[in-house]
Amino acid sequence: MRTTIAILAMFALVATADTSLWPKNCDDTKPWRSDRFASWTQVDDTPVLKVHLEPNESIPPGVLGASMPFDLTTYRGKEIELTVHTKHENLVKASRGWLGFKFMLSYKSEGMTHYPAGGGGDNVPRNSDWRIVSFSIRVPSDATTGNLQLGIQATTGTIWFKNASFKEVNLFPDVVELPDDFKCEYSDAVKNLPIMRGAMSPSLHNGAKAEDLHELASWGANVIRWQINIPKEEVNDIELCKKRLHTHIKNLDVHIKQLREDGLQVIFDFHQAPGGRLKATQIAGTAGLLAGNVAVDGNHFRMFYDKAYLDAFVEMWQIVARHYKDEPIVVAYDLINEPAQSGVVPYDYLYCQYQAAKAIREIDPEKPIIIAANAWSSAPAFKYLKPLPLKNLIYQGHMYEPGDYTHQGVGGNNMNDLKTGKTPFKTYPGRLAGTYWDQNTMRKALNPILKFQQQYGARIYMGEFSAIRFAPGAEQYLSDLIDIFEEYKWDWSYHAFREWHNWSVEYDENIHNDKPATEDTNRKKLLLKHFKKNIKPKF
């Protein structure tokens, strides 16, 4: 109930009227283009699009259903929300979260194709009553014609659509007004803080292992991004979240003496917010459908809608700041991992972080605070990220582009399909997701972060980047990325150290090997080479 009320409040924030994209009747389906899996019928004076694939049908590649061109030139620099009414039956879960149900707008910007989409991904149930699905985008300044697609991809089932529309929205209102010439402010201590090069920690659910920390330090790393996770059975209970935080603090405290001796600094990373992510598509039924847009993005943090969780988030950071204010081994507070706000919410991704940062500054005026960009901390989100007027803020990006390459084999049967040869390996450098990817392409992809750095004088931290160990060319991919980070003087941490073996540089490139390599892999040698540049802190 709490979430539903907040979602309705979100709906009330939208001020502009819908513009229909839908035909008035089945004789007027132009400019929609339909393939053989799609058909139109008239239901209660409304055209309904049906997309159907039989369970045993051979599935062609791509999105199957209907599509129409969408001229984006009028909306350059603006934010729009696209909405459709939909229901489905016997929808088989696809192998990847971005497959299956498809409500997607593709467009090109800066020479690359982008695929923002709504629908819930892994969270879509097998069957649903009518619901409203929406997603929002900030239209790039160079966007021209997009392609809006309704249908199904790489799976089977039946989906019905009606009443597609869009409207202008204000996704990311300014948290605070800044002067035109605003620059980030850093104390001398932070200005002179040596570049941090290290790795992401394991999940630490059962506590850190002293030998693991010592091993990473022996490689030459000078920082570890220390994950603070909350088990899914506890994440919605605020008191249990606080209790879990104290468990994490005790665990870190046990290792502080060793960390000091090894010169391994800690970035204290809230990898999960109290309340977690919604992780479920809200099914409305007819009453809910009429009430408003309740099919919110399943990756939104619950605190975006519910102030009780936002208040808990702020309070938990106050606990951390009081505890580690005078502990130099904790070098920075990393507020939240990978926010993914894709619609209008009462408390947006940056507002939540600003509230926590202000609360920390009342306790600890100096220790760096790390602010995460939206959209999983991806580079494009830096185009609309605004800095905050607090001292010693570091801004965080993550890099896993192109995902088809870095995450090949992840999810569903994809690993087995690679192992058996059913799916070919994707190689870097090479053509991936319609674009030729090499270091020049990655430099272009990361350019929004560089522009942000240059415009505001910001310190940048690349908190995560990786390529799955068996991806052909993974060493070159990582080398090209790290060279860019080094050129721009960005802090960085590799994902990940002893978390999942397929991200580990201690395992070789053979997908069939599930034991650590007996000799250093080339990917590990690459990290060791760069870690040699590190200046270790002295305490």
Tell me what pLDDT residue 125 has: 82
DSSP at 73: G
419 is in which domain, residue-wise?
188-531
As a whole number of angstroms, the distance between CA 22 and CA 290 comes to 18
> What's the confidence (pLDDT) of residue 94?
85
Do the domain assignments include residue 40? Answer: yes
> Contact 206/232 with Cβ under 8 angstroms?
no
Q: What is the pLDDT of residue 6?
A: 34
Q: Would you say residue 183 lies in a domain?
A: no
Span 274-298, average pLDDT: 49
Position with higher pLDDT, 14 vs 68? 68
As a whole number of angstroms, the distance between CA 25 and CA 61 comes to 29
Q: Are residues 79 and 133 in the same domain?
A: yes
194 located within any domain: yes
Residue 16 has pLDDT above 70, yes or no: no
Contact status, residue 331 vs residue 368, Cβ threshold 8 Å: yes
Mean pLDDT within 185-199: 97
Instruction: Give pLDDT, residue 379.
Output: 95
Note whether 199 and 316 are same-domain residues.
yes
Average pLDDT over residues 506-510: 97
pLDDT digits (tens, 9 = 90+) for 428-473: 999 987 889 999 999 999 999 999 999 999 999 999 999 999 999 9
Cα–Cα distance, 141 to 380 (Å, whole number): 12
pLDDT at residue number 343: 81
pLDDT of amino acid 110: 81
- Based on the domain organization, do 138 and 202 belong to the same domain? no
Last residue of a domain, one of 122, 137, 169: 169
2 pLDDT higher than 70: no
Q: Is 118 left (phi over 0), alpha (psi -120 to 50) or beta?
A: beta
pLDDT at 98: 78
- Is residue 314 predicted with pLDDT exceeding 70? yes
- Tell me the whole-structure pTM to 2 decimals: 0.87
Cα separation of 474 and 480, whole Å? 10
H or E element, residue 131: strand 128-138
64 burial (CB, 10 Å; 0-12 / 13-18 / 19+) is buried
The verdict on residue 174 lying in a domain is no
Which of 169, 202, 224 is a domain's end point? 169
Distance of CA 366 to the CA centre of its chain: 28
- Please give the average per-residue pLDDT across 341-361, as a whole number: 94
Three-state secondary-structure class, residue 84: strand
Does some domain include residue 537? no
Domain shared by 254 and 138, yes or no: no
Mean pLDDT within 1-15: 33
| Residue type present at position 455 | Q
145-169: pLDDT as tens digits:
999 999 999 899 999 999 999 999 9
- 352 and 399 together in one domain: yes
CA distance 13 to 20: 20
**Is residue 443 included in any domain, yes or no?**
yes
Residues 158 and 250 in one domain: no
Place of tokens 């620099």: 77
Half-sphere exposure (CA, 13 Å, Cβ side) for 60? 9
Say if residues 44 and 99 touch (Cβ distance below 8 Å).
no
3-state secondary structure 394-422: EEEEEECCCHHHHCCCCCCCHHHHHHCCC
State which of 109, 142, 169 marks the end of a domain.
169
Structural domain contains residue 182? no
Nearest to 316 by CA among 417, 252, 240, 368: 240
**Which pLDDT belongs to residue 28?**
87
- 287 and 339 belong to one structural domain: yes
Q: Is residue 483 part of a domain?
A: yes
Higher-pLDDT residue of 229 and 118 is 229
Q: Tell me the per-residue pLDDT of 31-68, one tens digit each, with 9 for 90 and over.
A: 899 999 999 999 988 999 999 999 988 899 889 999 99
Instruction: Give the chain's mean pLDDT.
Output: 90
Ramachandran region, residue 500 (left: φ > 0; alpha: ψ -120 to 50; beta: rest): beta
Ranges of beta strands (E only) in 290-334 are 330-334
Does 469 share its domain with 502? yes
Q: What is the pLDDT of residue 121?
A: 63
How many domains in the chain?
Answer: 2
Name the token pair of 223.
Answer: 């920082």
Same domain, 363 and 256: yes
Residue 285 has pLDDT above 60, yes or no: no
Quick one: 153 and 216 in the same domain? no
Residues 193, 147 share a domain: no
Q: What is the CATH number of the domain that holds 114?
A: 2.60.120.260
> Do both 111 and 247 map to the same domain?
no
Distances, alpha carbon 158 to alpha carbons 53, 127, 183, 249, in Å: 6, 9, 53, 49
Burial classification of residue 236, based on how many CB atoms lie within 10 Å of its CB (0-12 exposed, 13-18 middle, 19 or more buried): middle
CATH at residue 192: 3.20.20.80
Can you give the pLDDT at residue 120?
Answer: 61
